[in-house]
Amino acid sequence: MSELRFEGVTVRYGATTAVDDVSLVVPPGSVVGLVGESGSGKSTLARAAVGLAPVCAGLITVGGAPVPSRGRRPLQMVFQDPYSSLDPRMSIGESVAEAMPRGAGRAERRAEVARLLELVHLDPTRAAARPAELSGGQRQRVALARALAGRPQVVIADEITSALDVSIQGAVLNLVRELQRELGLSILFISHNLAVVRYVATHVAVMRDGRIVEEGATDRVLAAPDHDYTRELLAAVPGLSTPTRSPR
Amino acid sequence: MKRWMSVLRTPVGLTATVLSIGVLVLAVVAPLLWTDNADAIDTDDILAGPSAQHWAGTDNLGRDIFYRTLVATRLSVELALAATVIAVVVGLLIGTAPYLLGRRPGRVVLAGTNIAVAFPGILLALFFAVIFGVGAKGAVLAIGFAGAPTFGRLTQTLVAGISSRDFVAAAHVAGVPRLRILFRHVLPNVSEPLVVNATIGAGAALLSFAGLSFLGLGVQQPAYDWGRLLFDGIGSIYVNPAAALAPGIAVLVAGLAFNLFGESVAKGLGVGVVGGIPALPPSPEALEADAPAAEQAHGSGTDLVLDVRDLEVAFPGPTGPIRPVRGVSFSVRRGEALGIVGESGSGKSLTALAVSRLVEAPGRVDAARLDLLGSDLRVEETKAQRRLLGTSLAMVFQDPMTSFNPTRRMGGQLAEGARHHQGLDRASALARAVDRMRAVRISEPERRAHQYPHEFSGGMRQRAMIGMGLMGSPALIVADEPTTALDVTVQQQVLDLLAAIRAAEDVALVLISHDVTVVGEVCDRVLVMYAGKIVEDLPAADLAATARHPYTRALVAAVPDMDTDLDAPLAVIPGRPVDPADVPAGCAFAARCPLATARCHAEEPPLEADGTGRRVACWHAGEPIDLEVDGSLLGRDEREEVEAR
């Protein structure tokens, strides 16, 4: 189990700076929540970690070693939209197998696919099913299985429940907590929903305009936020009748 | 495969397929059978007109033109296919190069392709004909290379579209090499449009060949294709018109066959289901008398803004009508906020669309009553009714970006409805638009009115959408997932705005959402929909504590809030939502319900009102549920999903 560390990471697209000198640590075997509104740079930070966004300055390391820019990576990512993150023409078993390390035999791979599907509570006999036959929640579980197939030390979950119905969201969140406990993964959990982050993450970082404005233990940040923006986010959680405002 | 077969079911598709196959068969068979007839020289009978012996007459060596035309099919089709193969292969190479090479070299390839595409094809072909020399080989290369840039550009666009999808990114993150991603993920997903365009390209190549040969730049003597025959025949057109007409007709038929085949395949693949679906018969429910008077519990009738009884929405399906909304009755009073919650596929959005008369054919809306401000929306659409809908009903959609025309200024778009429905002139309509934009708290509305939709942020666009609804004096705002695409902070602003408008203008609000917390915060009353029916109707304040339907209770429990117990797993609803095409007998929720008994699977519970005006459809309403929330529940959920299939 390794830690994921961002050190002074900056990502620029042309003249716009999407991520501005961000330093963040996901300690080994813990879940760190990253919250912020769209455009705050939280997804760009995640994409930079897996090599999908260009890093202009700074360093991203897993277990002390820089993340390799090609080939197999020690960290994997689960995407927001389960309807676009699985190849519609490949069976779910093939999608999962593709992410596995090379060199294993055919039977070995099949057994590993079955094990991974079982791990995310999908029936292994359905490995030949196409994504179109699955519900959104089931697809997101396949995406989790695929991420785990790469034997990652760190998993980045980018808004993995926001495209799902609330009734399915609960099952996926339960699964994330369960996998994290069983496999001792380090997880960077990105979401705009504070209630969801509170449920899965022990630490939380709040991002705005490409910078991290506040971070700390989840219960501390949510109970006594330091930054105005965090307070604004808290006040916006639906169903919360009393806006949290610290008297200072 | 099924979709390819559907191509055959259209008359044009069938004709084109038969013609194309005919041309290909002829290309194989004709030279085997008739080469001798075509090459037989008869110097006694040169340049003759059509006769019983020579249907299309003879040429200057007395050879039979009809047979020559048949035999020329092979060479013509071969050359066209060879050129198409060159165009496709070269096109694929330049089409996938930008993806394989990375950003900077890719841009050079893109620029090169763009220039080549802009260059006229026939000029390119002439240019190549000069380089490669006059003859069949030169012509094949010329037409092949001339077709390549267009095909390459199409490939580039398609590849760029697929390669930005998440599953390609995921394969990338998994360490799959680029070339492998290209062959495993990208090309299979773009193959259909490419095949279609290659077929159309073959038709075009055939025509181009005929053109080049006709100009004397293609096939040379003694070989002959249709273009060559045309070239020879045109000289004697006044003596024997059939000599030119026969190869001309052959070119026309073959070209049409390939083009139409490509077009009908494109159409068949794009549409999904073609033909074979019977129209909907008139529904008997619609003809029945009004709903029982017992359901008139709400309101006196005079302050009703919307009154819906037994609303049903049906779409034709392959095996009979699919009914996503199955008999929904509710009413909204002036100033009331009504929430409709349910999972995707519960029929909540279609209910809203039916109320706004936005369900398009072949969908059909039936209702025993569908009254907006006392006027019946079921009757034929009239001008007065459009006006009523245009001014009294405001609709807010989920995605504010697609709800506006990106090429027109916001002020003009807001003003349009007012000019149309209220007869305002341009200036006063624009003034009203600015005023309404101010009302929905858009800063600097005068300046903003001159901006385009893309210059607005998502939240601001959604507010502009609400402002557009306020251009008239709406009595009802129907908002379908208005905040789902927005950030939490912006979501709060939009919800606050809706609440403020409701309070200030006494407007009724129907808010549709899958998120029970959003609805609970804004609305007075909540309808819970499941499988196209209302299963519970209760005051929003009672949602958390005293909801009686097991589905409502599960929905509330499944959403984590700021007080959720962190040590226990979240409650989940086992199984999956009901498919509207396959609604089970009895209670639709029974398969997922912890309280279900034999009665639930057999008999559908009616939606019954209790003394307080709350309605619930459940045989076991309010019975205690043992909310079993340990890890084993997930396993059970999965087994049930498998069994359900």
Q: Dig out the tokens for B177 from the structure.
A: 């090499």
Nearest to B560 among A72, A138, A173 (CB): A173
> Best interface-test mutation with B: which of A47, A162, A165 has the largest number of B CBs within 10 A?
A165
CATH classification number, B516-521+537-645, choose in 3.40.50.720, 2.40.70.10, 3.40.50.300, 2.40.30.10: 3.40.50.300
Counting residues of chain B whose pLDDT is more than 70, the rounded percentage is 90
Segment B317-357, tens digit of pLDDT: 777 788 889 999 999 999 899 999 988 778 888 898 888 88
Q: Which residues of B touch A85 (CB under 8 A)?
A: 165-167, 169-170
**Range list for CATH 1.10.3720.10 in chain B:** 2-268
**Range list for CATH 3.40.50.300 in chain B:** 284-514, 516-521+537-645
Query: How far apart, in whole angstroms, are the C-alpha atoms of residue B176 and residue B180?
Result: 7
Nearest to B174 among A37, A81, A99 (CB): A99
Segment B525-549, tens digit of pLDDT: 999 999 999 999 999 988 888 889 9
The yes-or-no verdict on residue B298 having pLDDT over 70 is no
What CATH number has the domain spanning B2-268? 1.10.3720.10
Instruction: Provide the shortest C-alpha distance from residue A38 to chain B (in Å).
Output: 7
User: Concatenated DSSP letters for B507-519?
Assistant: -EEEEEES-HHHH
The yes-or-no verdict on residue B293 having pLDDT over 60 is no
The three-state secondary structure class of B16 is: helix
Q: Which of B557, B486, B343, B567 is nearest to A198 (CA)?
A: B567
Nearest to B173 among A50, A168, A170 (CB): A50
Dihedral (CA of A63, A68, A72, A76) sign:
positive
Query: How far apart, in whole angstroms, are the C-alpha atoms of residue B428 and residue B552?
Result: 48
Q: Does domain B284-514 have CATH number 3.40.50.300?
A: yes
Query: A141 to chain B: nearest residue by CA?
Result: B638
The DSSP output letter for B583 is P
The yes-or-no verdict on residue B594 having pLDDT over 70 is yes
Instruction: Provide the shortest C-alpha distance from residue A12 to chain B (in Å).
Output: 15
Contacts of A181 (CB under 8 A, 6+ apart): none
User: Concatenated DSSP letters for B410-445?
Assistant: HHHHHHHHHHHHS---HHHHHHHHHHHHHHTT-SSH
Query: How far apart, in whole angstroms, are the C-alpha atoms of residue B152 and residue A143?
Result: 33
**Is A79 within 8 Å of B169 (Cβ atoms)?**
yes
Which residues in chain A show pLDDT less than 70?
Answer: 1, 239-248
Segment B494-527, tens digit of pLDDT: 888 888 888 888 899 999 988 888 888 889 999 9
The yes-or-no verdict on residue B276 having pLDDT over 60 is no
Q: Count CB-CB contacts under 10 A for residue B402.
A: 10
The tally of CA atoms less than 13 A away on the side-chain side of residue B466 is: 30
Q: Which of A241, A194, A243 is nearest to A221 (CA)?
A: A194
The DSSP output letter for B407 is T
pLDDT of amino acid B299: 43
Task: Tell me what the mean pLDDT of segment B1-14 comes to.
Answer: 75
**Is B399 within 8 Å of B485 (Cβ atoms)?**
yes
Please name the residue that has the structure tokens 């997930």. Answer: B634
| CB of B517 less than 8 A from some CB of A | yes
Segment B412-434, tens digit of pLDDT: 888 887 787 777 888 888 998 89
Query: How far apart, in whole angstroms, are the C-alpha atoms of residue B521 and residue A235?
Result: 13
Q: Which of A54, A59, A47, A67 is nearest to A16 (CA)?
A: A54
B347: left (phi over 0), alpha (psi -120 to 50) or beta: left
**Is A90 within 8 Å of A83 (Cβ atoms)?**
no
CA distances to B84, B236, B262 from B241, rounded to whole Å, are: 31, 7, 32
Q: Which residues of B touch A50 (CB under 8 A)?
A: 172-173
pLDDT of amino acid A247: 37
As a whole number, the mean pLDDT across chain B is: 82
Segment B625-635, tens digit of pLDDT: 765 444 333 33
Nearest to A85 among B167, B554, B631 (CB): B167
Dihedral (CA of B254, B260, B264, B265) sign:
positive
Q: Give the residue with greater pLDDT, B361 vs B620.
A: B620
Cβ-in-10-Å burial (0-12, 13-18, 19+) of A248 comes to exposed
Within the 114-133 window of chain B, which residues sit less than 8 Å (CB to CB) from chain A? none
ipTM of the shown complex: 0.82
CB contact (8 A) between residue B559 and residue A98: no
Query: How far apart, in whole angstroms, are the C-alpha atoms of residue A124 and residue A111?
Result: 9
CB contact (8 A) between residue A84 and residue B572: no
Q: Give the residue with greater pLDDT, B14 vs B217.
A: B14
The crossing angle, in degrees rounded to 10, of helices A166-183 and B632-644 is 130
Please name the residue that has the structure tokens 């030169």. Answer: B138
CB contact (8 A) between residue A86 and residue B641: no
CB contact (8 A) between residue B566 and residue A199: yes
